[in-house]
């Protein structure tokens, strides 16, 4: 189902060993030996530095097409229905939501690199930086990240967003911001949808 998303659980590590860090460490070590200027070590260090620079150039080109590593696990499912959110087997009714924050601006394959800027880091997103932050009427707070598979997948949340608006949990301005409704014609069309008695 398109209105279901995989839940992402970050591993909460602040540092991850990857090829970029290893290359940097090798470059620093080789540079240190080059500075020592011992004849045989200096020659080897020079060769290592050259190889690292060459490998770095190859990586910059390869990273244009590589995805950022997950650094966590995809585990569980969140489903946005017109009258509830289903987190795995837990059903949260719209009426149980006191406050909600949704960030839906990441998707699998999104290019988040700066155009024209060389980088050793992958330029494609894995789509897991979408956030649901809930305050429920019983005082429980829920916060989780989830993956969007494609750019426009946020549109499947429209029935859910409309229910939030009708239950005075979300403002009109926030609803059109989340659904990325910008031009006047589509805003008026959305207002008409909000005024209908029943969700489709």
The H-assigned helical ranges of 2-94 are: 19-36, 39-62
Q: Say whether pLDDT at 60 is over 70.
A: no
pLDDT tens profile 118-155: 556 677 889 999 999 999 999 999 999 999 999 999 99
Among residues 17, 24, 16, 34, which one has the least CA distance to residue 55?
Answer: 24
pLDDT at 64: 66
Mean pLDDT value across residues 14-39? 68
Pick 79 or 26 by higher pLDDT. 79
d(CA 65, CA 77): 28
pLDDT tens profile 147-167: 999 999 999 999 999 999 999
- What CATH class is the domain 4-10+70-195? mainly beta
Predicted TM-score (pTM) of this structure? 0.73
d(CA 162, CA 168): 10
Which of the four pLDDT bands, split at 50, 70 and 90, describes residue 194? confident
Summary mean pLDDT of the chain: 84
Question: Are the beta carbons of 177 and 164 closer than 8 angstroms?
Answer: no
Domain boundaries, the chain: 4-10+70-195, 19-62
Residue 193 to residues 108, 145, 187, 188: CA-CA distances in angstroms?
29, 29, 10, 9
Q: What share of the chain in percent tops pLDDT 70?
A: 78
In the chain, beta strands by DSSP E: 4-10, 72-80, 84-87, 90-93, 97-103, 108-111, 124-126, 130-136, 141-147
């Amino acid at each position: 189902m398109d209105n279901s998303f995989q839940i992402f659980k970050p591993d909460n590590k602040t540092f991850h060993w990857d090829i970029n860090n290893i290359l940097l460490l090798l470059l620093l070590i080789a540079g240190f030996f080059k500075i020592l200027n011992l004849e045989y070590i200096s020659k080897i260090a020079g060769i290592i530095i050259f190889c690292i620079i060459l490998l770095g150039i190859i990586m910059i080109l390869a990273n244009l097409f590589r995805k950022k590593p997950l650094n966590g696990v995809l585990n569980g499912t969140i489903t946005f229905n017109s009258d509830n959110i289903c987190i795995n087997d837990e059903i949260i009714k719209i009426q149980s939501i006191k406050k909600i924050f949704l960030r839906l601006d990441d998707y699998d394959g999104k290019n988040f690199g700066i155009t024209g800027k060389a980088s050793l880091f992958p330029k494609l997103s894995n789509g897991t930086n979408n956030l649901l932050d809930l305050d429920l009427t019983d005082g429980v707070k829920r916060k989780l990240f989830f993956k969007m598979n494609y750019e426009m997948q946020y549109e499947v949340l429209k029935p859910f967003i409309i229910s939030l608006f009708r239950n005075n949990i979300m403002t009109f301005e926030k609803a059109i911001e989340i659904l990325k409704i910008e031009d006047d014609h589509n805003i008026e069309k959305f207002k008409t949808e909000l005024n209908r008695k029943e969700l489709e």
